[in-house]
């Protein structure tokens, strides 16, 4: 069954066509148009500029996704398209960005007379784990660590597609902390991939003051990263030589974030007797996090399965939205072009 997915919740314009059969999701096309070049001068996403770019890019991106999957828009003139449904991000995200894929999806669903699948962006990130694998075989309950630019959540999944948040960040998201730290050191945007690359160059002989591991001792599953960011600022202010030690500061900052994420994830997995641990969201592209979490699971919870998304589907894309849409399709959770609601604060 073919599903077209659209995503414009932040600064990537994305379209994808997937084929869902039984418990398997195959990607036929996955097109992402990134706006990093536009936003990097501001060290963050400027909503007005993002929305304008989405308007320009959305139709060419859909056209490319159709072509990559072997179709052409011309095929659908006066004919029903081969898609059983159209999946689109309904929120959360930047409202002016969300509206572009939302209204495009509404128009296409109206013209093509196909149902819509309203997908939560976080659900999409989680569903990135279901691509190219048999999701019906995932051992449950599962604990999911969702780490992106806008969210840091610990989630329990007792049934595929049923999510309950058990912990969240009280302030900055993990990705946001990476981005703000990179801005502080003036090393570029987005901060996560840049900090992780620089951290690899750290010299173990250069010692810098350790940064805190926030909320490690609290009994709940919440996170807080804004104090860590301030601690980095104070360390830099006290060290006039810091520009010569950027890789070392990057490594320590990255380690502080990873230590807390892993500690709380394992604690939640133990408490809820998780059979699987899943990683999701843009920060799941972080090699050190992927590797260290695997090592800790092997060491402390060796019976627990560990799933991570393919690197192609970690940061924002529409394949993950179409994949989450497929699960909704199986559950018959459709909406229509008239009823689709876009909500920038949509909850999981």
- Which positions touch ligand KG4 (CB under 6 A)? 10, 148-150, 175-176, 178-179, 190-193, 196, 281-283, 285-286, 315-316
Q: Pairing between strand 83-91 and 152-159?
A: unpaired
Q: What residue has token string 């669903």?
A: 109
- Contact assessment for residue 131 and residue 320, using Cβ atoms and an 8 Å cutoff: yes
Check residue 11 for interaction with Zn ion (CB under 5 A): no
Distances in whole angstroms, Cα of residue 51 to Cα of each of 8, 88, 215 = 8, 16, 36
20/191 with CB nearer ligand KG4? 191
* Minimum distance from residue 149 beta carbon to ligand KG4 (Å): 3
Check residue 8 for interaction with Zn ion (CB under 5 A): no
123/316 with CB nearer Zn ion? 316
Check residue 101 for interaction with Zn ion (CB under 5 A): no
148/235 with CB nearer ligand KG4? 148
- The angle formed by the CA atoms of residues 297, 302 and 306, to the nearest 5 degrees, is 55
Q: What residue has token string 């780490």?
A: 147
13/148 with CB nearer ligand KG4? 148
148/276 with CB nearer Zn ion? 148
The binder of 193, among Zn ion, ligand KG4, none, by C-beta within 5 to 8 A per type, is: ligand KG4
- Contact assessment for residue 227 and residue 214, using Cβ atoms and an 8 Å cutoff: yes
* Minimum distance from residue 81 beta carbon to ligand KG4 (Å): 28
* Minimum distance from residue 305 beta carbon to ligand KG4 (Å): 23
Q: How buried is 203 (Cβ within 10 angstroms: 0-12 exposed, 13-18 middle, 19+ buried)?
A: exposed
Binding-residue pattern over the window 276 to 315 for Zn ion, x denoting contact by CB under 5 A:
----------------------------------------
CA distance 286 to 258: 10
* Minimum distance from residue 72 beta carbon to ligand KG4 (Å): 29
81/193 with CB nearer ligand KG4? 193
* Minimum distance from residue 302 beta carbon to ligand KG4 (Å): 26
* Minimum distance from residue 265 beta carbon to Zn ion (Å): 19
Helix segments in the chain, DSSP class H:
36-39, 47-68, 95-112, 121-127, 174-185, 191-199, 226-238, 246-271, 287-300, 319-330
- Contact assessment for residue 307 and residue 276, using Cβ atoms and an 8 Å cutoff: yes
Binding residues among 136-165 for Zn ion as defined by CB under 5 A: 148
The binder of 286, among Zn ion, ligand KG4, none, by C-beta within 5 to 8 A per type, is: ligand KG4
5/190 with CB nearer ligand KG4? 190
In angstroms, how far apart are the furthest CA atoms of the chain?
A: 69
Check residue 129 for interaction with Zn ion (CB under 5 A): no
Check residue 316 for interaction with Zn ion (CB under 5 A): yes
The beta strand positions in 111-214, using DSSP E, are 116-120, 142-147, 152-159, 162-168
Smallest CA-to-CA distance from 215 within 178, 267, 251, 175 is with 267
Residues forming contacts to Zn ion in the complex (CB under 5 A) are 148, 316
């Amino acid at each position: 069954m073919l599903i077209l997915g659209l995503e414009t919740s932040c600064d990537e314009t994305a379209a994808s066509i997937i084929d869902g059969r039984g418990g398997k999701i195959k990607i036929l096309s996955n097109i992402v148009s990134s706006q990093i070049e536009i936003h990097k001068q501001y060290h963050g996403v400027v909503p007005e500029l993002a929305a304008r770019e989405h308007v320009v890019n959305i139709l060419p991106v859909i056209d490319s996704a159709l072509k990559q999957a072997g179709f052409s828009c011309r095929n659908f003139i006066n004919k029903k398209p081969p898609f059983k449904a159209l999946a689109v991000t309904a929120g959360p995200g930047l409202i002016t960005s969300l509206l572009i894929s939302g209204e495009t999806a509404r128009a296409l669903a109206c013209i093509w007379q196909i149902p819509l699948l309203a997908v939560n962006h976080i659900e999409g990130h989680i569903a990135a784990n279901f691509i190219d694998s048999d999701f019906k075989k995932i051992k449950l309950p599962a604990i999911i660590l969702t780490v992106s630019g806008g969210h840091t959540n610990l989630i329990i999944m007792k049934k595929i597609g049923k999510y309950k948040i058990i912990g969240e960040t009280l302030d900055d998201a993990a990705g946001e902390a990476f981005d703000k730290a990179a801005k502080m050191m003036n090393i570029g945007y987005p901060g996560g991939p840049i900090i992780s690359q620089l951290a690899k160059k750290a010299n173990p002989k250069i010692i810098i003051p350790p940064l805190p591991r926030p909320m490690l001792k609290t009994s709940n599953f919440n996170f807080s990263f804004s104090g860590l960011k301030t601690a980095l600022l104070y360390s830099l202010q006290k060290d006039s030589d810091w520009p010569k030690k950027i890789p070392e500061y990057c490594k320590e900052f990255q380690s502080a974030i990873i230590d807390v994420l892993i500690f709380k994830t394992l604690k939640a997995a133990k408490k809820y007797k998780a059979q699987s641990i899943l990683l999701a969201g843009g920060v799941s592209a972080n090699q050190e996090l992927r590797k260290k979490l695997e090592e800790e699971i092997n060491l402390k919870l060796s019976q627990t399965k560990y799933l991570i998304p393919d690197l192609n589907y970690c940061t924002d894309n529409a394949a993950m939205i179409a994949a989450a849409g497929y699960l909704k399709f199986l559950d018959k959770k459709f909406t229509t072009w008239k009823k689709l609601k876009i909500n920038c604060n949509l909850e999981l």
